[in-house]
Amino acid sequence: MRTVFITGASSGFGAAIARRFAARGDRVIAAARRAERLAALADELGPDLLLPLTLDVRDRAGVERTAAALPPAFAEVDILVNNAGFATGGPFYESDPERELEQVRVLVEAPVSLISAYAPHMVKRRSGAILNVASTAAFQPLPYSAGYSAAKAYVLAFSEAIHWELRGHGVTVTALCPGPVKTDFWEIANWQVSSGQSFERALPSPAMITPEQAAKAGVDGLASGSRVVVPGLPMRAAMEASRLIPHAIKLPAIAWAMRRR
């Protein structure tokens, strides 16, 4: 039985990943800030398969203390899933500087810290897997969501690099790059676009996928040793096409679509 450590596991995409691993018979350490949602997930999956941890990944010292105090049955992490995240939106010069820095801590510093903690043990055992949740936002700069797209670009580049570093050591690293997923992520972000609609309502429905679809793609991609996974055929096709378009052409179009009116 493997042990899976998942951040941002209290709802939406993270909870869907937890359910998928638990359905395979894996033990899950579900870490998030919202204790009541974690408790509900623990009741659903049962105490033998899920250990809820109320944890803020921005607190590096707290993460290290928690990892050192895990119960023996959960102490050896076989799979690490870096999923915790949020997004800022709007002109960067108008944004809250502390909120932008929090975004870097959650999306960049936390995965680096956790991988630094667990990867050496995986290499020593010559067994392990890391799933880093990036985004299709990683493939191009997003004006009016500059910090978010930059952070996800870091996650993607970092994941691809260490995928090659660790592949000869029995450790798999996969970057999962979903497009929009039907969760409360966009509501929390309050991300509106040019039409005045929230981000997810402005997108054509074929571009949207469910948390379960995204979770399946990520877990299956990790199991097969994939370097990068983009769930959904329409989004994969769009990302492949976008690689052929220079940023000088894409940036004005993205800025027009993303800018609030």
Provide the token pair at 165.
């570093």
Q: Is 148 considered catalytic here?
A: yes
Closest CA to 88 of 100, 75, 106, 78: 100
CA distances (Å), 12 to each of 68, 70, 231, in order? 27, 25, 16
Q: Which helix (H) or strand (E) holds 36?
A: helix 35-45
CA distances (Å), 180 to each of 113, 114, 201, 232, 240, in order? 26, 25, 10, 10, 17
93, 144, 148, 154: the active-site residue: 148
Sort strands 79-82 and 228-229 into parallel, antiparallel or unpaired.
Answer: unpaired
The residues assigned a catalytic role are: 148
